[in-house]
């Protein structure tokens, strides 16, 4: 399961997608926090996750990572939930955004889950991240409901999750 794109502007080598290993937890954590800090600092001041959280997620599910010459450029988390699967924490290193890595990771995640027999993907989008709704709708995701943002996370603005799903 390897998808390839020509990245810009790093180099002429290709990017592959692979399943993250335990030793990738530190870099994965750094990418998630850098990407979410850039996109969400207008409503939240805390990191999205710590290394312990990433290590716990590696037990309950798996991360796919976009890798170029041994450097992780982005990630997405996948977790089985019966015939359904959950997708979250799609994050691209801020210096590598807007070059197709997010779409490449989404394609790889959907194919990975489809090959493993999952019939649906569910995800949550922060209600204040309006720019994401078009991205997911273009990929075939539809809104299915709403759920509360974690109560233990202090936010600058009222926020909740919009739940979206896609049939594979």
Contact call for residues 44 and 153 (beta carbons, < 8 A): yes
Helix (DSSP H) and strand (DSSP E) numbers for the chain: 4, 7
Query: What gap in Å lies between CA 14 and CA 10, rounded to an integer?
Result: 10
- Secondary element (H or E) of residue 160: strand 160-167
Q: If the chain, 168 residues long, is cut into consecutive pieces of 10 residues, what is the mean pLDDT of each piece?
A: 42 84 97 97 96 97 96 98 96 95 97 96 97 96 97 95 97
What is the reported pLDDT for 9? 42
What local confidence, expressed as pLDDT, does residue 4 receive? 42
pLDDT of residue 38: 95
pLDDT of residue 166: 98
Domains (range + CATH), the chain: 16-123 (3.40.630.30)
pLDDT in the model for residue 2: 44
- pLDDT on residue 6: 38
CA distance 75 to 27: 10
- Entry pTM: 0.90
**What is the spatial distance between Cα 28 and Cα 115, in angstroms, rounded to a whole number?**
24
């Amino acid at each position: 399961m390897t998808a390839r794109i020509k990245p810009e502007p790093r180099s002429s080598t290709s990017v592959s997608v692979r399943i993250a290993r335990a030793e990738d937890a530190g870099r994965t954590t750094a990418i998630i926090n850098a990407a979410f800090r850039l996109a969400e600092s207008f409503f939240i001041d805390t990191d999205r996750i710590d290394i312990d959280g990433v290590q716990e997620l590696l037990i309950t599910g798996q991360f796919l990572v976009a890798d170029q010459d041994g450097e992780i450029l982005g990630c997405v988390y996948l977790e089985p939930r019966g015939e359904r699967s959950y997708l979250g924490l799609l994050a691209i290193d801020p210096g590598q955004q807007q070059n197709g890595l997010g779409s490449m990771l989404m394609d790889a995640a959907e194919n990975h889950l489809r090959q493993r027999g999952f019939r649906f993907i569910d995800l949550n989008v922060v209600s204040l991240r309006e720019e994401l709704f078009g991205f997911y709708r273009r990929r075939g995701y539809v809104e299915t409901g709403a759920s509360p943002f974690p109560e233990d996370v202090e936010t600058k603005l009222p926020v909740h999750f919009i739940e979206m799903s896609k049939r594979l």
